[in-house]
Every structure is written in C-alpha cells, then in structure tokens.
Amino acid sequence: MLTDIGDGFCTFRDGWDDQKVADVVGVKKASVMGTRIECFGKLRQPPREQDHRLDEAIRAIENLQRCYDELKQRHDKLCDTLALNRVAEVRHLRVAQPNHSNGQQRPS
C-alpha cells in the first residue's frame, strides 16, 4: 500500500489513502495517519521528473525489444534463404533466445 520514497517520506500506491486503509481496517482515519507517520513517514507525492524519466526508460526498452524482434526475424529469414539455396550451413548462424528466468541464453 505504501512506497518509501526516502528522507522520511512515503506515498500511497494507486487507489490507496488513509481513509481507505481506515475503512478496510475498521479504525478512524486519524489513527491510520498517526501510525503511518510514526512507522513510514509523512506523505509526499513522488517527483514528476522521476515519473517522466521512468516513462522514457520504459519506452526506450520497449523500442529496443521491437528492434531486436525485427532484426531477429530478418536474420532468421536470411538464414532460411541461405539454407534453402544451400549457400551455407546455417546452424551456427542461429540467434540464441534470452531465457529471462535466469539470464541464460537458449538456442532458438
């Protein structure tokens, strides 16, 4: 429900606030506020600059993934054409697929 943003401040995750916590737990809002301040700190919205930089990083990563997928598709098509025309043995040209579960690569 809460995210620590440093320097004794925190922010609620989307959809949560002191009143919602109070309603769920069945106590007064003032009690939730006091406990939150004591345990987690005062509320502060995260700086918009950080949100903007995070959005830019996400867009860049998504763009890199699209470029990689397109390049791999072109590469595989070229390998298939070379194999079909018996120009070259292409097993050694295959691109390994990242295995995101452990960072290892596996052949495609």
Tell me: the pLDDT tens digits for 25-69? 899 989 988 988 888 788 776 566 566 778 888 999 999 999 999
68/103 same-domain check = yes
Q: Detail the DSSP E strand segments found in 1-107.
A: 2-6, 9-12, 42-43, 96-98, 105-107
Asked if residue 23 has pLDDT above 80, the reply is yes
pLDDT at 83: 76
Determine which of 24-28, 52-56, 73-77, 98-102 has the lowest per-residue pLDDT on average.
98-102
In a domain, 7, yes or no: yes
Which pLDDT value is given to residue 74? 93
Question: Does residue 53 form part of some domain?
Answer: no
- Which residues make Cβ contacts (< 8 Å) with residue 76, sequence separation at least 6? 94, 95, 108
Answer whether residue 8 is part of any domain: yes
Q: How many structural domains does the chain have?
A: 2
Domain match, 38 and 9 both: yes
Separation between Cα atoms, residue 56 and residue 64, nearest integer Å: 12
